[in-house]
Amino acid sequence: MPIIVNKEEKIDEICQKAYNEFKKNEIETISLNQLIQKIDISKGQFYHYFKTKEELVFEVMKRKTIEYFNICEKDLEKCKSFEQCLLIFFSVYISNDDLCKTLRKLFFASFHTYVYSKKKEVSQYNHFYYEYIDKKLLNIFEQYEINYTKKEFIKSICATADGMYFRDLVDNSFNLQNELSLYIKQISIILKKG
């Protein structure tokens, strides 16, 4: 009797094994053949679920971003200040825990996929990602009674954090964690004062 494989469970398993490898190795330097061997599947199995290594990286990033958002939601419930909420919300750029460090690696490794792709799934993910961010930041602004005109800063705060991340990728003397933490402190003061 043939073994029935739940497709979603198998993709989860492959993604988790790939994620564990991405934590240990530089994503750009590990070949697809090495990755297939390390996650212990056949080439046929891999190609049944993914067309390319980049597609797998993107899928892992997507799943881990949702995991990060779920953790972030719980952490935000414990916040005591506007600044603390922003620090938690942008912890993906600031924190050095395993998930955040690996997510930054995944962002870098999949950057060309989600910027240049014409695939509907990729554009839907991008839309979901930024819609979630805008909505969550708006909730934080409302929770701390940051007035309506100051809400115009929401997209620029996110764009600044993203820009700092990209600068950190190309400028070895730039310290993303310090610079973004300082920016969040300054923007919190400015927005609370008016």
What are the tens digits of pLDDT across the range 79-130? 999 999 999 999 999 999 999 999 898 888 877 766 777 778 888 888 888 8
Taking residues 157-168, what's their average pLDDT?
93
pTM of the model: 0.83
Structure tokens belonging to residue 130: 């930024």
CA distance 110 to 165: 14
Number of domains in the chain: 1
CA distance 184 to 159: 13
Say if 46 falls within a structural domain. no
Give the per-residue pLDDT at 194: 62
20 near 63, Cβ under 8 Å?
Answer: no
Q: Can you give the residue range of the structural domain that contains 112? A: 52-193
CA distance 88 to 71: 10
Say if 113 falls within a structural domain. yes
Say if 94 falls within a structural domain. yes
Say if 2 falls within a structural domain. no
Q: Give yes or no for residue 193 having a pLDDT over 80.
A: no
